[in-house]
Amino acid sequence: MRDLVIIGSGPAGLSAAVYASNACMDFIVIEKYPMSGGQILNTEEVNNYLGFESAEGFTLGQTFRNHAEKSGATFVNDEVVSISKNKTHFEVKCENETYLSKAVILATGVIRKHLNVKGESDFAGKGVSYCATCDGNFFRNKIVAVVGGGDVACEDALYLANVCEKVYLIHRRDKLRAAKYLQNRVFDNNKIEFVPNANVTEINGGNAVESVSLDNGSVLSVNGIFIAIGVEPEVEFLNGLADTDSQGFIVANEDCKTSVDGLLVAGDIRTKPLRQISTAVSDGANAVKSAEDYFNRIEM
């Protein structure tokens, strides 16, 4: 039985791995995706992480992973199916194997929300995308739309403006909610047209996306649509084990302690006012400290 299982290898999970290594814990990191890094893999540029004036998201994610590996972390590529706890340990059941540990740190992050409108699922991979940096080059010199009003939507619009002929930024409100510096960059870019007070009601096309219908009655001719309307936590495998808020995020304070003793949570899936790389990395460190406190208490 291990001391600790860390689930997820975004900034929070990788930070936890470094701190667990420094604490000489016996632990593994379980990651279901082929690469570590989480959401920052889909970020073109990171310019608000201390020490990096400007860094490509993908490169920064790999830098974090390399640091964790050099610290001694062991990674397992598998998907968690369920977690349960008895009096002495946790059982983390994966598709390929089951792991036992004294404590668990959840750092699975979030996934993009869907619009759930007609045509969205039909054109998935045929003009509907949730990752501008992944798919933007497929729309070089074409016209696209981005849906959303937050940081990610603005970042996507700015990235796409570098490769596309025109970018519509569709938002349901009259004002964007992204950071001011991102808003300024969007409004200063003559390739981006802001479409306020509008919701996409249908995505249209034949073999691929050709247009989007809006609830204001207009139809925009586009070759692709990038959906950036928010995120939801990846916590399906918990099956109600820990308390969550109304949106499904796991309830925990800065100490990262959940309602289940020995179950810690770090990163974007934790209830918090700000979801950034810096707060995720901080969570990873705090979660390991709380795990150490838990070990000391149960071993007394």
Tell me: the pLDDT tens digits for 123-177?
988 999 988 887 898 999 999 999 999 998 999 999 999 999 999 999 999 999 9
- pTM beyond 0.85, yes or no: no
Query: Looking at residue 282, what is its pLDDT?
Result: 98
Q: What is the mean pLDDT of residues 277-285?
A: 96
Is the backbone of residue 110 left (phi > 0), alpha (psi -120 to 50) or beta? beta
Residue 107 contacts by C-beta under 8 Å, 6 or more apart in sequence?
6, 7, 8, 9, 10, 12, 13, 16, 265, 266, 267, 269, 280, 283, 284, 287
At residue 274, the pLDDT reads: 85
Q: How confident is the model at residue 4 (pLDDT cuts 50, 70, 90)?
A: very high
Between 230 and 128, residue with greater pLDDT? 128
Query: What is the pLDDT averaged over residues 284-300?
Result: 93
CA atoms within 13 A on the CB side of 224: 29
Question: How would you label 86-104 residue by residue, b for 16+ Cβ within 10 Å and e otherwise?
Answer: eeebbbbebeeeebebbbb
233 pLDDT exceeds 80?
A: yes
What is the C-alpha end-to-end distance of the chain, expressed in Å? Answer: 19
DSSP result, 79-110: -EEEEEE-SS-EEEEESS-EEEEEEEEE---E
Show Cβ contacts of residue 46 under 8 Å, excluding neighbours closer than 6 positions: 40, 52, 54, 55, 56, 57, 60, 277
pLDDT of residue 84: 96
Query: Phi and psi at residue 236, in whole multiples of 5°?
Result: -55, -35
Q: Mean of the pLDDT values across residues 109-113?
A: 89
State yes or no: is 154 an active-site residue. Answer: no
Q: pLDDT at position 48, please?
A: 82
Q: Is the pLDDT confidence value at 114 over 80?
A: yes
Q: What pLDDT score does 6 carry?
A: 98
d(CA 222, CA 278): 36
Surface-to-core class of residue 77, CB atoms within 10 Å of its CB (0-12 exposed, 13-18 middle, 19+ buried): middle
Question: For residue 53, what pLDDT is reported?
Answer: 86
CB 120 within 8 A of CB 203: yes
Q: Give the pLDDT band of residue 29 (cuts 50, 70, 90).
A: very high
The yes-or-no verdict on residue 105 having pLDDT over 90 is yes
* Mean pLDDT of the chain, nearest integer: 94
Point out the catalytic residue in the list 26, 134, 215, 245.
134
pLDDT tier, 275 (very low <50, low <70, confident <90, very high otherwise): confident
164 is catalytic: no
| Cα(19)–Cα(234) distance, integer angstroms | 23
Between CA 285 and CA 1 the distance in angstroms is 22
Query: Please, which pLDDT band fits residue 39 given cuts at 50, 70 and 90?
Result: confident
| pLDDT band at residue 111 using 50, 70 and 90 as cut-offs | confident
Active site residue 188: no
From the candidates 24, 26, 94, 131, give the one annotated as an active-site residue.
131
Q: Which pLDDT value is given to residue 258?
A: 98
Report the distance separating Cα 20 and Cα 131, nearest Å: 32
Considering the candidates 26, 94, 122, 135, report the single residue annotated as catalytic.
Answer: 135
Query: What's the pLDDT score for residue 147?
Result: 98
Q: What are the backbone angles phi and psi of residue 26, rounded to the nearest 5°?
A: -90, 110
Biggest CA–CA distance in the chain, Å, is 68
Give residue 300's pLDDT. 65
